[in-house]
Amino acid sequence: MSKPLIIGLTGSIGMGKSTVAAMFEEAGVPVFDADAEVRAMQGAGGELVPAIEAAFPGCTGPDGVDREALGAKVFGDRDQLARLEALVHPAVAAKREAFLELHRDSPAILFDIPLLFEKGGHTAVDVIVVVSAPAEIQRERVLRRPGMTEEKFAHILGLQTPDADKRARADHVIDTSGSLDETRCAVRALITKLGTDGGEKTS
């Protein structure tokens, strides 16, 4: 049996990636959510908690990793961030491989990965889908988030591949600036299209 078509979904902060991933899932495409896996591994009893406590003392408690305390340690410090990523990324990769094995008989699966380009994940997928919206809509969405500031937003953008570059490297772009129904229609149209021509990229 042929392997599933692996769709890599990414997009900058505030572009609607999680919403689009949920729409793929609603349509029957199995979705691997990298952020959700990280949250689970950092939660109470999570497998990353001991390693993070050892590397960043005082950043864990009964409920697992204190994300606010950990964020304060790595915010603006690329060395500390790299130290954290060295713990997190291999663990996520292992979960992703297990997910792929679990769904190896599916026609397609979707990897929801925020830093798809930044961490080289684009080399492991067959089709790249980027979610995008105008910068003013992105900014408005992000600054509505609890605890978000202009400084944090600018810092996060600095760590991410610019939206224009993502779009240039994408096989498909989903515009999320319209209504949810419009976005859902775009997702379903893309799923239909991938069902007929998505195999061009598989080996």
**Residues within the annotated binding site for ATP?**
14-19
> Residue 121: is it exposed, middle or buried by C-beta count within 10 angstroms (0-12/13-18/19+)?
buried
**CA-wise closest residue to 111 among 157, 123, 145:** 123
Binding positions are 14-19
How far is Cα 46 from Cα 59, in angstroms, rounded to an integer? 14
List of residues 6+ apart from 105 with CB closer than 8 A: 1, 4
3-state class (DSSP) for residue 127: strand
Do 41 and 91 contact (CB within 8 A), yes or no? yes
List of residues 6+ apart from 161 with CB closer than 8 A: 12, 117, 118
Residue carrying the six token digits 């999320």:
176
**H helix count then E strand count, the chain:** 9, 7
What are the phi and psi torsion angles at 93 (to 5°)?
-60, -40
